[in-house]
Chains A and B, each alone.
Chain A
Amino acid sequence: MVSQAVTIVLLLAGAGFFLAGTLGLLRFPDVYTRLHSLTKADNVGLGLMAAGLAVQAESWAAIGKIALIWLLVLLASATGAHLVARSALRKGIKPWTL
């Protein structure tokens, strides 16, 4: 019962971060700030969700797989964000300034 409550809290918190990241994606002014909101918020959100699912896992092996998935997504999203930003810079898209 406690573990279920923990999972629900962690999943909801994770969903909150995803929501914030998506809001940023839709509302931020240029590609660089959007990338920022998307990768940062989603990585934390996924981490919270992974933690919430790990609480319910049946074995250490399953927890290990969940952790591995989170780490791989971290790695991929960081690299992906870098590549998008790099290609945007090369295309001459100027970062947004006030």
Chain B
Amino acid sequence: MDVMSLAANWTFDGLLALALLWVGWRVLASTNLFKGIVFFIAFGLLVALSWVRLEAPDVALAEAAIGAGLTGALLLAALSRLRRRQDSAQASDQPLDAETSRTARLSLGTQALLIVFSAVLFVCLGTAFLSLPPLTPGLGPQVAEQLSASGVTNPVTAVLLNFRAYDTLLEMGVLFLALVAVWSLSPAPAQLVTAPGSILISFVRVLVPIVVLAATYLLWIGAYAPGGAFQAGAVLAAAVVLILLAGENTMPAGSTWPLRATLSLGLGVFVAVGMSLMGMGRSFLDFPTDQAGNLILLIEVAATVSIGVTLAALFLGGQPQRGSPK
């Protein structure tokens, strides 16, 4: 690499790192919570860009779709529910602008102590990073060595769904449990949106088929290139959230079991595949090399659908009631 492009790279990375810190600070320090969340979404996109620079396009996709997009949507939805309740409750004892008082009534001493502690922590962690043993090979070579036996050619997918499939299985469990907990805390809001408007509705009509296509593409390409079940699931969730926002939020008055089946499909298929492998005399989730690709695809298809619907249900923020919002 010649000097010019090296300098350009350094400048870009340095500026991006500074931008990360500055926007991160703006997220936390903005007096207006709405503004802070908007900064958070921008922050997520900068983080995604950093992942591209760190040669991790899979993570960049996940961060852009989940970290920036869905987390941002979750925060905005929670903020609007918070404010609506505050408005309707006419909180008498607390001022409405309570959210603008950012810090607790910390004494000046406590605040100074916190700042000193943070600075010391920063220095300690920085020193720890610098004193890491230089240039360890990591697990990259081992993954590369075993890649041909994994059934896929994208090393990240190989790690996620073959070498460390347990992690991914448990992660699906975490996602499922989070939804169970959210459902047990409250019912879904009776009305999600008021008068979405014809432009939004036609936008959603045009976009949703394309988004579903993009999710399928991400799922399929994940075996060879950056992509996979989580990115595809997040994109699918975006489609469902868009449909919800366009006002299509009444659930057929029938039973909720189709929804429940879809939510547990990913975890169920994952466990079923693992158990049937045990039935064949192998250990749990120990894929035979010649079938690994198909089994991974099967698990990923089920996982994508479940992840998409679960994330959208988390956005809804409560248990859907019969005949009312889905």
Q: In the complex, is A directly touching B at CB under 8 Å?
A: yes
A86 touches B206 (CB 8 A): no
Among B81-89, B162-170, B196-204, B308-316, the stretch that binds chain A is B196-204
- B207 adjacent to chain A (CB < 8 Å): yes
- B185 adjacent to chain A (CB < 8 Å): no
**Residue numbers in B under 8 Å from A82 (CB-CB):** 197, 199-200
Question: Which residues of A, 52-96, contact B by the 8 Å Cβ criterion?
Answer: 72, 75-76, 79, 82-83, 86
B200 touches A83 (CB 8 A): yes
Closest A-chain residue to B245, C-beta based? A83
- Per DSSP, chain B at the interface is helix
A79 touches B210 (CB 8 A): no
Number of interface residues of B (CB under 8 A): 7
Q: How far is the CA of A83 from the CA of B197 in the complex (A)?
A: 9
Residue-wise, chain B 188-227 has the 8 Å CB interface mask toward A (1 for contact) of: 0000000001011001001100100000000000000000
B206 touches A75 (CB 8 A): yes
B197 touches A75 (CB 8 A): no
Number of interface residues of A (CB under 8 A): 7
Partner among A75, A83, A86 whose Cβ is within 8 Å of the Cβ of B207? A75
Interface centre among A76, A79, A82 (most CB of B within 10 A): A79
Rounded to whole Å, the gap between the CB of B37 and the closest CB of chain A is 15
Q: How far is the CA of A30 from the CA of B194 in the complex (A)?
A: 25
**Residue numbers in A under 8 Å from B200 (CB-CB):** 79, 82-83
**Residue numbers in B under 8 Å from A76 (CB-CB):** 203, 207
Q: How far is the CA of A86 from the CA of B197 in the complex (A)?
A: 9
**Residue numbers in B under 8 Å from A86 (CB-CB):** 197
Closest A-chain residue to B194, C-beta based? A90
Closest B-chain residue to A86, C-beta based? B197
**Residue numbers in A under 8 Å from B199 (CB-CB):** 79, 82-83
Q: How far is the CA of A82 from the CA of B204 in the complex (A)?
A: 14
**Residue numbers in A under 8 Å from B206 (CB-CB):** 75
Rounded to whole Å, the gap between the CB of A85 and the closest CB of chain B is 10
**Residue numbers in B under 8 Å from A72 (CB-CB):** 207, 210
Q: How far is the CA of A71 from the CA of B199 in the complex (A)?
A: 17
**Residue numbers in B under 8 Å from A75 (CB-CB):** 203, 206-207
Closest 8 CB pairs of A and B: A79-B203, A82-B199, A79-B199, A86-B197, A83-B200, A79-B200, A75-B203, A75-B206
Interface, chain B (partner A; CB < 8 A):
197, 199-200, 203, 206-207, 210
> What are 13 pairs between A and B in contact, CB < 8 Å?
A72-B207, A75-B206, A75-B207, A76-B203, A76-B207, A79-B199, A79-B200, A79-B203, A82-B199, A82-B200, A83-B197, A83-B199, A86-B197
Q: With contacts A72-B210, A82-B200, A83-B200 known, what are 14 further pairs, Cβ within 8 A?
A: A72-B207, A75-B203, A75-B206, A75-B207, A76-B203, A76-B207, A79-B199, A79-B200, A79-B203, A82-B197, A82-B199, A83-B197, A83-B199, A86-B197
